[in-house]
Structure formats: C-alpha cells, structure tokens
C-alpha cells in the first residue's frame, strides 16, 4: 500500500491555541481520509477529501487537500480539551493504510 | 444497529496458545480488515477481505490467519501466540473500497480486543 507520513508525532498545546497536523505522501493520492481516536477508544471517521485543493470545514476543524494531491492538513482552531486524541490520515491504495498519527494533548 | 462487533474485549494468553478473535458486522459491508495497534503506535494492517471468499495479506500478516466464509464475519486466528503479539486489535469494515479511486467509503471500527500474551 501507499505510505503516508504525518508530522508532528506529538503536539502539546494550551487550551485555546491552534493545532495543525500534516499528512504527506511521495506519490499522488486518490483521496485522503481523516480519523480521530480518543484515548482508549477506536478510530472514528471525520472526513474524506478527493479533489485537488479541496477545503472542508467542520466547526473548528479545517481540512485541506494539496493541489498536487500529495499532502493534506487538519487544522483545529482554539483547541478544547475534547479535542484530545490521536489524529490519523489514511488512504486506500492497494489496501487501506494509515499514517502513524499525531497525538494531541490539550492542557487546560 | 450494532455496527461492528468484536469479541472478546480482553484476552490473556500464554505463549504457544491459539485463539480466534471474532468480528461481525451487520451493515452488509463488502470490505473488512484487521489492524493491530501497539502502545503509542499507529494502525498496522494485518489482513483484509474485499468480499466473501476473498482474503489478502496486509503489512504484518505473519502469525495470523483469516477466513471470510460469510459477508458478516471475519475472524482472526492466532496460530501460536507470542509476546510480540500483545496488542490491541481492531476490526474495521466499509461498504466497498476500490483501489485508487477518488471516492471511497469510510471505515467503521469495532471497539477493539486488548490481547496480552505472557
């Protein structure tokens, strides 16, 4: 399957600060999906991006797909303690593989 | 609507024992898959299936077997448990996935099985 990398691996922010995680691939991606996993929980689907340059918003979350469809980002504005968890990007090449994830901690 | 159901939730095995992790979905999904997640690690694909009677290997298939005799069930068998297989195992399903097409269905995950091998 295609390999996707994510940075950073960990991010600690103060509540109210913004947060961004990046997903990068060396090859063009047909689509990108983002998932959130709360501590002790299972991954939950957030969104799918399919078009070059696509931007989608869900309340305080903004998702972007790069023009070359090789990278994607998830930006959270004014983080809250409920945003704590690990954010994974994933792609279906020959099978569905996930990036290593970014673990977000939010300090109250 | 139960979604994806995994059993058991917890399991402790001794080295060399075998067991089967169960996964069932009631959404008539064609695609099913197994991932393992080690502490602080991402999700690594073990095996997957694109439909009944069809299975294929993922990134880390060694030590595991799968079968897909029905659309609903996708059990994962550990042949001879090893401490390195201590992990959390997630089963996931999707309506249908096709390689390298723009619009794919999201994965629905079970709650996981936490396995310890001593």
Residue pLDDT, tens place only, B64-97: 999 999 999 999 999 999 999 999 999 999 987 6
Task: State both tokens at A49.
Answer: 């991006």
CB B91 within 8 A of CB B107: no
List the single residue in B with minimal CA-CA distance to A2: B100
CB A79 within 8 A of CB A17: yes
**Nearest beta carbon to residue A42 from set B42, B90, B102:** B90
Please write the tens of the pLDDT for every residue from B53-62. 999 999 999 9
Place B104 in a pLDDT band, splitting at 50, 70 and 90. Answer: confident
**Nearest beta carbon to residue B103 from set A1, A31, A98:** A31
Interface contact A93, partner B, CB < 8 A: yes
How crowded is the C-beta side of B113, counted as CA atoms within 13 Å?
A: 28
**Nearest beta carbon to residue B48 from set A33, A48, A95:** A95
Interface contact A48, partner B, CB < 8 A: yes
pLDDT score recorded for residue A84: 98
As a whole-number percent, the residues of chain B with pLDDT over 90 amount to 81
pLDDT score recorded for residue A96: 85
C-alpha distance from residue B89 to each of A35, B9, B69, B106 (Å): 17, 10, 21, 18
**Nearest beta carbon to residue A88 from set B42, B45, B59:** B42
A–B CB contacts, 8 A cutoff, strictly below: 72
Token match 């090893």: residue?
Answer: B82
A100 with B108: Cβ contact below 8 A: no
Cβ contacts of residue A82 below 8 Å, gap of 6+? Answer: none
From A9's Cα to the closest Cα of chain B, the distance in A is 10
> How far apart (Å, rounded) are the C-alpha atoms in residues A67 and A47?
18
Please write the tens of the pLDDT for every residue from A14-49. 999 999 999 999 999 888 999 999 999 999 999 999
Q: Is the pLDDT reported for residue B41 higher than 90?
A: no
Q: Is the pLDDT reported for residue B103 higher than 70?
A: no
Of A105, A86, A103, the C-alpha closest to A35 is A86
pLDDT score recorded for residue B53: 95
B104 with A45: Cβ contact below 8 A: no
Of A83, A61, A81, the C-alpha closest to A73 is A61
Instruction: Spell out which residues of chain A touch residue B56, defining contact as CB-CB under 8 Å.
Output: 95
A43 with B100: Cβ contact below 8 A: no
């Amino acid at each position: 399957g295609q390999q996707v990398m994510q940075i950073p691996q960990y991010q600690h922010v103060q509540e109210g600060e913004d947060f961004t995680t990046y997903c990068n691939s060396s090859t063009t991606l047909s689509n990108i999906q983002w998932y959130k996993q709360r501590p002790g929980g299972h991954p939950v689907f957030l969104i799918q991006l399919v078009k070059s340059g696509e931007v989608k918003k869900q309340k305080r979350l903004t998702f972007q797909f790069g023009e070359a469809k090789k990278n994607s980002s998830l930006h959270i504005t004014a983080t809250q303690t409920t945003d704590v968890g690990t954010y994974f990007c994933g792609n279906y090449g020959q099978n569905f593989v996930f990036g290593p994830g970014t673990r977000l901690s939010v300090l109250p | 609507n139960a979604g994806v159901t995994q059993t058991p939730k917890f399991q402790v095995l001794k080295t060399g024992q075998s067991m089967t992790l169960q996964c069932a979905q009631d959404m008539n999904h064609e695609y099913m898959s197994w991932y393992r997640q080690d502490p602080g690690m991402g999700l690594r694909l073990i095996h997957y299936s694109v439909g009944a009677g069809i299975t294929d290997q993922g990134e880390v298939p060694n030590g595991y077997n799968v079968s897909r005799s029905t659309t609903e069930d996708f059990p994962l068998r550990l042949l001879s448990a090893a401490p390195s297989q201590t992990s959390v195992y997630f089963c996931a399903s999707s309506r249908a996935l096709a390689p390298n097409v723009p619009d794919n269905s999201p994965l629905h995950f079970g709650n996981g099985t936490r396995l310890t091998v001593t």
